[in-house]
Structures are given as C-alpha cells and as structure tokens.
Amino acid sequence: MSSNKNHFKKKQKDTDESSDTIAAQTEAFLSSGHEIQYIQSGVSGLSPITGKKHITISSPNKAKQ
C-alpha cells in the first residue's frame, strides 16, 4: 500500500510542477508583448479551402492483393 501513496505523491508533484511551468511560460509569453487569442466554441482551425485530409490505413497484405 505504501507504493500507492508514493505514486500519488509523485503524480501530484508532477502535476504541480507542470502547472507551475505552464504558468511561467504563459507569463513569459505575455510579458514579451504577445497576446492570447480566444477562439469561440465550435470554431475549427481547419481551413475550408483545403478540405478534409483523409488517409487510408490498410495492412500490407491487402495492399499486395
């Protein structure tokens, strides 16, 4: 059971460090004169001009037939 407690503490520490790192990076970004652009919900970043990019994944055996 001790290992579960240590795992939780490590995960919590990693999460805290990640949050602190993101906050520091965001502050550096904003203080260098950049702005954060807020995007409305439902808006896509894909360009309607280029269309959708479909890929087909098949096994190598089907490709030989």
> Which 3-state string (H, E, C) describes the chain?
CHHHHHHHHHHHHHHHHHHHHHHHHHHHHHHCCCCCCCCCCCCCCCCCCCCCCCCCCCCHHHHHC
pLDDT (tens digit per residue) in 1-60: 455 666 666 666 677 778 889 999 999 999 999 999 888 888 877 666 766 667 778 776
Instruction: Note the pTM of the prediction, 2 decimals.
Output: 0.43
Number of domains, the chain: 1
Q: What is the pLDDT of residue 42?
A: 82
- Predicted confidence at residue 24, as pLDDT, reads 94
Q: Please write the tens of the pLDDT for every residue from 54-65.
A: 777 877 665 555
> Is there a domain that residue 59 lies in?
no
Residue 2 one-letter amino acid: S
Residue 6 lies in a domain: yes
Whether 54 is in a domain gets the answer: no
Round to whole Å and give the CA distance between 25 and 18.
Answer: 10
Domain assignment present for 11: yes
User: Which pLDDT belongs to residue 7?
Assistant: 61
Domain housing 24: 1-34
